[in-house]
C-alpha cells in the first residue's frame, strides 16, 4: 500500500512538471527536482526487483510441487488438504509475482516519463545557455 501511494505521488509530480520555462535558474531547479525523482524511482524499482527475486526464490519449490500435483488431471484420487494447500500457495505466489511485475512496469513508465521531461528541460537549458529563448 505504501509503495502504491509513493508511486501515485511520483506520477502526479511527474505529470505536473511542464509548461514554458524561460529562466535558466528555473530550468535548472526543475532539472534538479526531476533528478531527485528519478533517483527515488530507481530506488523503488530496485526494491521491487529485490522483493520479486526473493519471492520467486521462495516460490520455486512450491511451483515444482504444484506442477507435479496437477500434471495428471483429473487426479486419480481427490487432493488431500496438504496438496490443496500447495496448489493454493502456488497460485498466491503467481499472483504476488504478477503484482510485483506490474508495479515494476509502472515505475519503469514513470522513470521514462521523468527522463523525457529531463531531456526537454536539458534542451531548453542549452538554448538558454546560448542566449536563445526557450519555448
pLDDT at 133: 61
| Measured distance CA(103)–CA(48) in Å, rounded | 8
| Measured distance CA(48)–CA(110) in Å, rounded | 14
Question: pLDDT tens digits, residue range 58-117?
Answer: 999 999 999 999 988 788 889 999 999 999 999 999 999 999 999 999 999 999 999 999
In this structure, what DSSP letter does residue 75 have? -
Domain segments of the chain as ranges: 63-123
pLDDT at 129: 85
Question: pLDDT tens digits, residue range 2-57?
Answer: 666 555 555 555 455 444 445 888 999 999 999 999 999 999 999 999 999 999 99
Provide CB contacts within 8 A for 122, sequence distance 6+: 31
| Measured distance CA(51)–CA(59) in Å, rounded | 12
| Measured distance CA(127)–CA(125) in Å, rounded | 5
Amino acid at each position: 500500500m505504501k509503495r502504491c501511494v509513493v508511486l501515485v505521488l511520483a506520477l502526479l509530480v511527474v505529470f505536473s512538471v511542464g509548461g514554458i520555462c524561460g529562466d535558466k535558474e528555473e530550468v535548472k531547479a526543475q532539472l534538479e527536482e526531476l533528478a531527485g525523482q528519478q533517483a527515488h524511482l530507481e530506488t523503488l524499482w530496485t526494491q521491487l526487483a529485490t522483493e520479486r527475486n526473493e519471492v520467486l526464490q521462495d516460490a520455486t519449490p512450491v511451483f515444482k510441487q504444484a506442477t507435479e500435483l496437477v500434471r495428471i488431471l483429473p487426479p486419480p484420487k481427490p487432493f488431500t488438504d496438504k496438496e490443496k494447500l500447495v496448489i493454493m500457495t502456488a497460485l498466491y505466489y503467481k499472483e504476488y509475482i504478477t503484482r510485483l511485475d506490474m508495479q515494476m512496469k509502472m515505475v519503469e513508465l514513470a522513470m521514462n516519463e521523468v527522463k523525457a521531461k529531463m531531456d526537454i528541460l536539458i534542451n531548453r537549458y542549452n538554448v538558454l545557455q546560448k542566449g536563445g529563448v526557450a519555448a
